[in-house]
Amino acid sequence: MAIRPAIVGVGQTYHRSKRPDVNIGELCTEAVRAALEDAKLPPEKIGAFVVGNMELFEGRYMQDMWQADFVGAVGKPLIRVTTGGTTGGTLASVAFEHVASGMFDLVMAVGFEKQSEGDTRAGLKTVADPLWNRWQTTGAIGYFARVATFYIKETGAPEDAGSRVRLRLARHAARNPHAHLRMDLESVDQVMKFPYLIPPLRQSDMCPASEGACAIIVASEETARKLPRKPVWVDDWTSVHKEMVYVRGGRHSTADLEMAADRLFRRNGIREPMKDISVAEIYAPATWAELEWLEAYGFCEKGDAWKLEEKGQFHFDGPFPVNPSGGVVCTNPIGATGLIRVAECALQLRGDAGEHQITRKPTRGFSTAWGGSGWTVAHLLSADGL
Amino acid sequence: MEEREERLSQERIMEIRYRWSAGPYLGRFLAELRDKGKFYVVRCPGCERFLLPPRIVCSTCYTRIPEYPDGWIALSGRGILLDWQRVIYPQMDPETGEVRDEPFLHGTFRLDHDLLFVHYLGPADLDEGRLQEGMKVEMVMKPQEQREGKVTDIHYFRIVED
């Protein structure tokens, strides 16, 4: 890597299922302003922008043209990234690449979603080939019901394993002022009362449809050292695509998650991920996926995640905090979701996460984005002075 | 009474027409299904795996796949049930946009050459209590006059006795 990038500012909006008080541009300004304030930078210092959201959701062609006016990019380089569920993760990766290339010193990435303006379910269903298998798509719920079914079958996890994940994440979200679903849940039994969508998947196992935006500011090492915030170093990032177009509904596989984590860990000398990494903000849109994917990333053995969950291993004040923000099952403004994972990791590594700050010493962070049932983007960050 | 600020928004419904080309591979697959009830796969000459449906290149070894009939093999239409999903929440039909309220079952079937395929389970097999992994299934086509050159020209898969 030519130039080492650092995250020098993050900002996000609060999240709700509807934000009728603002339009898309106004929503983005909230995150942009928060990131600039966090970095203590005036808008004119930003040299380039990367913006993104989901295709089709809000029904606007050239969303990037619309957004330029509202993120402060008029007259400057700006590109739109729209890679489905991974959009937010790719936004971060592309901003890192802008800086790593040496062409830009300060780059801002902005992701948003305003799901109530369009039809998320209709948008997601267009993922499948219209002449092959679009007719049979059951959206995210159908996919994650399969994840739950396979996880139970392959690991012997009890049917309440997903509900335990929800309970942990609800507790985390309750401490995070930016989280969307801040459910007052006290017991697994209480979570188990939520109705089934597709058994064994319950309503409480799935993410909400959220509206909100997130922005991060990335700087070159030289610039980052001159700025007031403690920089969060970006050590590495990658993305993996699995064969998907004609195999949807076929053999269940987590190959993309495994390859992405394995590549990053190998390249960075991480041999014991749960020891070497102090916090994970992973993009898991369902509780069961969080369990299955912690195993796929190699944090624990296959079939162990639900047992570690029962022991409280993944709590924000536990030995290996996972999604201390409350994660995707509490907040999912899709085009921003992957970027929120990066931003939340950065806050943890800076020690600035407030009420949901992990108690373990923050050293390295792992953030991911996932989408399309077979794409993974992953980032490895580290705290300053490590 | 306190005056509430109006939060103005406007709604439009947009109907957009699409027409997608099937190409010579998927197109031939669908035409054979429609006209003869035959379910074709093709073997990749590079890595020798079977591709369902047939396509122009193998996505893993990037070998060019021959057009019909070179290397194309019709499957028997029989297989075994691997798992199933009972879809009970109101589901939008991606073909029409209409919401279907009634529950239905999707099955995953293992066909010849270990190929996996997802389709409906038939009306006689909706009793989940009777379903077991490993049951034998067979493909049931729609009557000739109802076929449209779509994957749903297959009506469903039904459980067959040994």
Question: Does B64 lie in the same domain as B83?
Answer: no
Domain boundary, last residue among B40, B74, B108: B74
Is the CB of A145 less than 8 angstroms away from the CB of B88? no
Question: Does B100 lie in the same domain as B161?
Answer: yes
Reference A32, options A296, A298, A167, A215; nearest CA is A215
Strand A232-241: give its sheet, edge to edge.
Answer: A78-80, A48-52, A106-114, A211-220, A5-12, A232-241, A375-383, A364-371, A279-281
pLDDT of residue A102: 97
- Is B101 within a domain? yes
How many residues are given for chain A? 386
Nearest to A135 among B51, B86, B152 (CB): B152
Locate all alpha helices (DSSP H) within chain A, ordered by sequence: 24-39, 63-71, 87-100, 120-125, 139-155, 161-174, 188-191, 221-224, 255-267, 273-276, 287-296, 305-310, 334-350
Tokens of A263: 């590549």
Is the CB of B106 less than 8 angstroms away from the CB of A250? no
Name the residue of chain B whose CA is nearest to A197's CA.
B89
- Is B64 within a domain? yes
Is the CB of A131 less than 8 angstroms away from the CB of B93? no
Question: Does B149 lie in the same domain as B139?
Answer: yes
- Is B89 within a domain? yes
Question: Does B111 lie in the same domain as B97?
Answer: yes
Contacts of residue A195, Cβ cutoff 8 Å, sequence gap at least 6: A202, A203
pLDDT over 90, % of chain A: 85
Q: What is the largest CA-CA distance in chain B?
A: 79
Question: Does B98 lie in the same domain as B128?
Answer: yes
> For the segment A162-206, what is each residue's pLDDT rounded down to a tens digit?
999 999 999 999 999 999 999 999 999 999 999 999 899 999 999
Is the CB of A199 less than 8 angstroms away from the CB of B18? no
Write down the residue that tokens 């900002």 correspond to: A11
Which chain A residues are Cβ-neighbours of B106 within 8 angstroms?
136, 138, 142, 249
Tokens of A63: 């969303």
Tokens of B131: 């379903």
* Residues of the domain holding B37: 20-74
Question: Does B126 lie in the same domain as B81?
Answer: yes
- Is B124 within a domain? yes
Cβ atoms < 10 Å from Cβ of A33? 15
Residues from B contacting A (CB-CB < 8 Å) are 7, 9, 14, 18, 20, 22, 26, 30, 51-53, 55, 59-60, 83, 85-89, 91-95, 97, 106, 108, 116-119, 150-152
Query: Has this prediction a pTM greater than 0.90?
Result: yes
- Is B7 within a domain? no
**A306-339 as b/e: b if 16+ CB within 10 A:** bbbbeeebbbbebebbbbbbbbbbbbbbbbbbbb
Instruction: List the pLDDT tens digit at each of the 386 positions of chain A.
Output: 589 999 999 999 999 999 999 999 999 999 999 999 999 999 999 999 999 999 989 988 899 988 999 999 999 999 999 999 999 999 999 999 999 999 999 999 999 999 999 988 888 888 888 999 888 887 788 889 989 999 999 999 999 999 999 999 999 999 999 999 999 999 999 999 999 998 999 999 999 999 999 999 999 999 999 999 999 999 999 999 988 777 755 567 899 999 999 999 999 999 999 999 999 999 999 999 999 999 999 999 999 999 999 999 999 999 999 999 999 999 999 999 999 999 999 999 999 999 999 999 999 999 999 998 789 999 999 999 88
Domain boundary, last residue among B74, B103, B120: B74
Rounded Cα gap, residues B14 and A188, in angstroms: 43
Which chain B residues are Cβ-neighbours of A20 within 8 angstroms?
7, 9
- Is B143 within a domain? yes
- Is B13 within a domain? no
Residue pair B55/B26 in contact (Cβ under 8 Å)? The answer is yes
Total domains in chain B come to 2
Name the residue of chain B whose CA is nearest to A148's CA.
B85
Question: Does B142 lie in the same domain as B106?
Answer: yes
> For the segment A41-74, what is each residue's pLDDT rounded down to a tens digit?
999 999 999 999 999 899 888 999 889 999 999 9
Reference B55, options B45, B69, B41; nearest CA is B41
Write down the residue that tokens 């990335």 correspond to: A218
Instruction: List the pLDDT tens digit at each of the 162 positions of chain B.
Output: 567 788 999 999 888 899 999 999 999 999 999 999 999 999 999 999 999 999 999 988 999 999 999 999 999 999 999 988 887 777 777 777 788 777 788 899 999 999 999 999 998 888 888 999 999 999 999 999 999 999 999 999 999 987
Reference B77, options B27, B107, B106, B40; nearest CA is B40
Question: Does B159 lie in the same domain as B93?
Answer: yes
Reference A217, options A85, A366, A32, A88; nearest CA is A32
- How many Cβ contacts (< 8 angstroms) between chains A and B? 81
Cβ atoms < 10 Å from Cβ of A381? 27
Question: Does B87 lie in the same domain as B162?
Answer: yes
User: Which CATH number covers residue B109?
Assistant: 2.40.50
Question: Does B62 lie in the same domain as B86?
Answer: no
Query: Which backbone phi and psi does A380 adopt, to 5 degrees?
Result: -120, 120
- Is B55 within a domain? yes
Give me the domains of chain A, ranges plus CATH numbers.
Answer: 5-120+209-224 (3.40.47.10), 123-208+234-383 (3.40.47.10)
Which chain A residues are Cβ-neighbours of B39 within 8 angstroms?
none
Is the CB of B151 less than 8 angstroms away from the CB of A132? yes
Nearest to B92 among A125, A199, A247 (CB): A125
Question: Does B120 lie in the same domain as B51?
Answer: no
Question: Does B123 lie in the same domain as B45?
Answer: no
pLDDT of residue A84: 93
Residue of A131, A134, A203, A245 to mutate for B, most B C-beta atoms under 10 A: A131
Name the residue of chain A whose CA is nearest to B118's CA.
A249
pLDDT of residue B2: 65
Which chain A residues are Cβ-neighbours of B83 within 8 angstroms?
146, 149
Cα dihedral B138, B139, B142, B148, rounded to 10, equals 180
